[in-house]
Amino acid sequence: MIGLYCPGNSLLHRMPAGSKLALLVVAILAMTVFVRTPLAVVIAVAVVASLFALAHISWRVAFAQIRPVLWMTAIIGAFQLLTTSPARAVVVCGVLLVSVALAALVTVTTRVTDMLDALTRALNPLRRIGVNPERVSLLLALAIRCVPLLTQIVHDVGEARRARGVSWSTTALVTPVLVRALRTADAMGEALAARGVDDD
């Protein structure tokens, strides 16, 4: 989901990255405050679906953005059903999914470099208190890069353990993933150090 840019020339693609990020924050806050009924959730879903259509993003790409959080949403929904009411469960899960979809819409219509540049500009005033915007942007870029990288590691290890007939062994998954993730982190750290990133 993170960092998947779909090229295009729609209004959303042409909008500045900083404006999209600011509107994303405002929209999520507004939904958190004002979306209180299932009907409001339906309206929010319709608006977000219209925005995906405006950006010419296919439904397959749109669904792929929220699919990774569906299981978590199901757990949250079940908890809400047990502790509150069906209407509240719909609102909580709906706001969560719509928020993820909005964030995904920003990522599929905005280049990562543009988002990082916008973040660097936004953090520039904090230089006075010792914040290094370039370091923060680098940290975010590494996080964006590491999410799909870790996903690929988990997928590769899962394929390997199934080939060995140990598909139900948790240890056979967790241990190799941890070892490969640590090795990858060491390699990335050495590469950054070799480029002088840790120099003051």
Give the span between the Cα atoms of 102 and 49, in whole angstroms.
10
pLDDT of 90 over the 90 cut:
yes
pLDDT of 168 over the 70 cut:
no
> Do residues 2 and 147 lie in contact, with contact meaning Cβ atoms separated by under 8 Å?
yes
Higher model confidence: residue 8 or residue 200?
8
Name 2's Cβ contacts closer than 8 Å, sequence gap at least 6: 107, 144, 147, 148
pTM recorded for the entire structure: 0.71
Give helix 38-54 / helix 86-109 axis angle, nearest 10°.
20
Q: Look at residue 31 in the predicted model and tell me its pLDDT.
A: 94
**Which H or E element spans position 115?**
helix 112-123
> Do residues 172 and 166 lie in contact, with contact meaning Cβ atoms separated by under 8 Å?
yes
Chain-wide mean pLDDT for the chain? 83
Q: Any idea what the Cα angle at residue 10 is, between residues 5 and 15, rounded to 5°?
A: 80
Predicted confidence (pLDDT) per residue in 27-68, tens digit: 999 999 999 999 999 999 999 999 999 999 988 888 888 887
pLDDT of 169 over the 70 cut:
no
Confidence band for 128, pLDDT divided at 50, 70 and 90:
confident
Cα 76 from chain centroid? 18
